[in-house]
């Protein structure tokens, strides 16, 4: 594996150009969007005239076609080993497909999506979808939360109520947040860029534009995976409104460690236990977990198969990370572990119905062509940073590395459980971390918002 691919495995943001009117976002599998004058709900969120309400309702024919395609899957033979070393196991995929085709109910997801205020606004020539829920509490802290791949805004829906209505979920009124959850360009209901250029720095600028458009004079940002990349770029750009960022997939790898990993050198003898654990996790990921990212960074357009086959798409998404795959496999074996079968299929079905398997993959390509540093390399963010470490993330950032990476580290927490999809898997822990992590910045809000 070339050093470039090891160090810069997450590549590429799909890019500029305008997705047309709301029901015409270019999806072969269409959603019907309601547009027009602002509703009372839209006015209550502080939306401006260039922000339109959004409602999702996929035609029944799309769901019928999905089930037909699942049932018509041309299956390969099962793996020739008794573990996951050859990829997503035959039995796991068949369990998923059987449930998806017979028992899964997408309409329940649509109802949950439509139960919160959804909007579309055009930024830099592209339609951006986002959820915006204001708290009823005074002086709520505005928070923009960004998902990653293979995720969507669905990941963060479990945290909306606890963050905006803390007194109903074990918190105090002064813990309240206003929550903004956008869909990345090329993902979910956001427009699909038609030219290169939508990399994390550009998305970061768009998110700042969005928060300003919503009327926020002070806010904070949070993310993991691509959400971390975007949030860190916001931190590097340091708009005056941004008070701090929070990450559950921090970029803390020191330059000398990154260089040693890329060259295949042995781990330094001086590493602490936590640092050696991080080394081992990264070493495993760079050697055995980068196949999906390399393909999407180098040749995303080649992935026609995952746009044409729902089972192919599901397997591709399941296999993106060994720890996440192991959790998902256990879920389809009947164990809960923070996610349910419906949780997993909600996200995969979102990719299928919006036909965003390839458009989302281009984010890896665009990032690869513009990034100057690897995904986990230190970026020199100098604004306040909150770091939450979940043990089953791709790597668990050690405190020692986090303190070097972020000179204004205001909160560090190492949690006992959880993985890559933190808000989705462990929403209670995730919410607690945002409350505690950003508490010291609340005094800077004043009456700004």
Catalytic residue among 178, 225, 377, 392: 225
Q: Is 364 a catalytic residue?
A: yes
Query: Using only C-alpha atoms, what is the Rg of the chain?
Result: 21
**Measured distance between the N- and C-terminal CA atoms of the chain, rounded to whole angstroms:** 49
Tell me whether residue 320 is one of the annotated catalytic residues. Answer: no
CA distances from 77 to 20, 80, 81, 93, 332 (A): 43, 9, 12, 12, 20
From the list 364, 377, 395, 406, the catalytic residue is 364
- Give yes or no: 187 in active site: no
Active site residues: 225, 364, 420
């Amino acid at each position: 594996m070339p050093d470039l691919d090891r160090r810069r495995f997450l590549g590429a943001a799909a890019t500029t150009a305008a997705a047309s009117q709301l029901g015409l976002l270019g999806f072969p599998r269409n959603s019907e969007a309601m547009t027009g004058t602002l509703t009372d709900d839209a006015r209550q969120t502080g939306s401006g005239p260039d922000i339109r309400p959004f409602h999702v309702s996929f035609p029944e024919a799309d769901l019928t076609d999905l089930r037909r395609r699942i049932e018509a899957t041309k299956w390969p033979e099962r793996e020739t080993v008794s573990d996951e070393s050859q990829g997503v196991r035959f039995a796991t995929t068949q369990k998923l497909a059987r449930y998806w085709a017979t028992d899964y109910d997408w309409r329940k997801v649509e109802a949950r999506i439509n139960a919160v205020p959804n909007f579309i606004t055009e930024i830099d020539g592209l339609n951006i979808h986002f959820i915006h829920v204001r708290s009823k509490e005074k002086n709520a802290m505005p928070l923009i939360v960004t998902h990653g791949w293979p995720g969507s805004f669905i990941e963060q829906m479990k945290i909306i109520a606890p963050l905006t209505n803390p007194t109903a979920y074990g918190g105090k009124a002064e813990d309240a947040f206003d929550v903004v959850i956008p869909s990345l360009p090329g993902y979910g209901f956001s427009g699909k860029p038609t030219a290169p250029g939508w990399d994390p720095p550009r998305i970061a600028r768009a998110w700042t534009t969005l928060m300003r458009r919503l009327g926020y004079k002070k806010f904070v940002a949070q993310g993991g995976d691509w959400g971390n990349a975007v949030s860190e770029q916001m931190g590097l750009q340091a708009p005056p409104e941004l008070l701090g960022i929070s990450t559950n997939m921090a970029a803390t790898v020191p330059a000398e460690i990154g260089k040693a990993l890329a060259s295949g050198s042995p781990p330094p003898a001086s590493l602490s236990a936590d640092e050696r654990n991080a080394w081992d996790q990264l070493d495993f990921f760079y050697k055995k977990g980068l196949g999906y990212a390399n393909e999407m960074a180098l040749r995303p357009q080649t992935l026609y198969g995952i746009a044409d086959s729902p089972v192919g798409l599901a397997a591709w998404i399941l296999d993106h990370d060994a720890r996440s795959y192991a959790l998902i496999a256990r879920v389809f074996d009947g164990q809960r572990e923070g996610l349910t079968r419906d949780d997993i299929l909600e996200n995969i079905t979102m990719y299928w119905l919006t036909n965003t398997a390839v458009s989302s993959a281009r984010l890896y390509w665009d990032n690869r062509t513009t990034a100057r540093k690897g995904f986990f390399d230190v970026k020199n963010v100098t604004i306040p940073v909150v770091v939450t470490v979940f043990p089953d993330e791709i790597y668990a950032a050690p405190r020692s590395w986090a303190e070097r990476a972020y000179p204004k580290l205001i909160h560090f927490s190492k949690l006992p459980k959880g993985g890559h999809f933190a808000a989705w898997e462990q929403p209670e822990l995730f919410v607690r971390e945002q409350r505690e992590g950003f508490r010291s910045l609340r005094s800077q809000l004043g009456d700004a918002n």
